[in-house]
Amino acid sequence: MKSRFTLALILIGCTLTHYNLALAKSDPASGVAAGLQPTEALLASPARPDSDHTADPLRKPLAVLALAPVAQGAIVADLMPGSGYFTRLLSLETGSSGHVYAVVPAEMVARHPGIPRMAQAITANPAFSNVSVVITPVVDFHVSQPLDLVWTSQNYHDVYGGMGPETALRMDRAIYQALKPGGIFMVIDHIALPGTGLTATTTLHRIDPELIIQQIESVGFQLETNSPVLRNPDDSHTLPVFDKSIRGHTDQIVLKFRKPLKQNADH
């Protein structure tokens, strides 16, 4: 009787293992959307600084990362990584067989030479040995490998407003080319009121989501998810994102775009 019970447990374990492997290989297009869902163990990593742990309740990383889970071994770019909050999470998620490029626009470095230092500090930690820093013009966004995922959080408005809509459009085209067929472009940003255009991007550090969607779709991407995970109905959208009454609690758009497996000849 005991041997039958043991055999049953082994069979169940084998079935679950097979199921998990099937999940990890379910998307033939790329490593994105093929990985297992991120778990609390990812957040609990001792390699993450205290500041990241403190930010977790507001940034809801598990819910956001679950929209585009990456498999071990995926090749990812974190565009304009800032403090490296998502760079570190993506590094842990992709594992030692994957790679994360922290991409810093050369246009920003020209104005603020110290910007790359935060990203470069991440690479000094052995826990994030799969991270490297790339400085490149944003209009010529590229790394040395085809990408499964390009991630950018709270930055699109800076390119659109600070560098201009045409620069943002050229960036989108370059990202499209840098991604593998089936690859994902994730965009998170602070929401502005409809019709506010360039004014909100430069004065409030917010952007009308329709500007993002229209521009990114125009280069060939398909909008796959418009998630409410970071929405805040109490945000009036009229205050700068750094205003102490709303900072950290802004209403944010979370958009997942996919590069089609078969590319249109126009793109």
Average pLDDT on 235-255 reads 97
Reported residue count of the chain is 267
Answer yes or no: is 67 within a domain.
yes
Q: Which of 30-44, 91-105, 106-120, 245-259 has the lowest mean pLDDT?
A: 30-44
pLDDT of residue 262: 82
Answer yes or no: is 139 within a domain.
yes
**DSSP 3-state of 158:** helix
Answer yes or no: is 174 within a domain.
yes
Q: Which of 32-36, 65-69, 189-193 has the lowest mean pLDDT?
A: 32-36
pLDDT of residue 267: 61
Average pLDDT on 194-219 reads 97
Q: Provide the domain count of the chain.
A: 1
Q: Output the DSSP codes for 28-62.
A: SS-SBT-SPPP-HHHHT-TTS-HHHHHHHHHH-HH
Answer yes or no: is 7 within a domain.
no
Provide the mean pLDDT of the chain: 88
Q: What is the pLDDT of residues 247-261, one digit of tens each?
A: 999 999 999 999 999
Q: Between these two residues, 201 and 3, which has the higher pLDDT value?
A: 201
Answer yes or no: is 16 within a domain.
no
Answer yes or no: is 66 within a domain.
yes
Given a cut of 80, whether residue 99 has pLDDT beyond it is: yes
Specify whether the CB–CB gap between 228 and 182 falls below 8 A.
no
Average pLDDT on 101-105 reads 97
Query: Which range has highest mean pLDDT (7-21, 28-42, 132-146)?
Result: 132-146
Distance between CA atoms of 173 and 7, rounded to whole angstroms?
A: 55
| pLDDT interval class at 217 (50, 70, 90) | very high
Given a cut of 80, whether residue 22 has pLDDT beyond it is: no
Answer yes or no: is 4 within a domain.
no
pLDDT of residue 3: 47
Answer yes or no: is 236 within a domain.
yes
Angle made by CA atoms 118, 101, 52, in degrees to the nearest 5: 45
Given a cut of 70, whether residue 1 has pLDDT beyond it is: no
Dihedrals phi, psi of 70, to nearest 5 degrees: -105, 145
| pLDDT interval class at 101 (50, 70, 90) | very high
Q: With b meaning 16 or more CB within 10 Å and e meaning fewer, what string describes 146-179?
A: ebbbbbbbbbbbbbbbbbeeebbbbbbbbbbbbb
Q: How many C-alpha atoms does 48 have within 13 Å on its Cβ side?
A: 24
| pLDDT interval class at 37 (50, 70, 90) | confident
Given a cut of 90, whether residue 236 has pLDDT beyond it is: yes
Given a cut of 50, whether residue 18 has pLDDT beyond it is: no
Domain that holds residue 238: 29-258
- CB count, 10 Å around CB of 200? 24
Strand partners, 254: 188, 227
CATH number, position 145 = 3.40.50.150
Q: What percent of the chain has pLDDT over 90?
A: 82
Given a cut of 60, whether residue 14 has pLDDT beyond it is: no
pLDDT of residue 56: 97
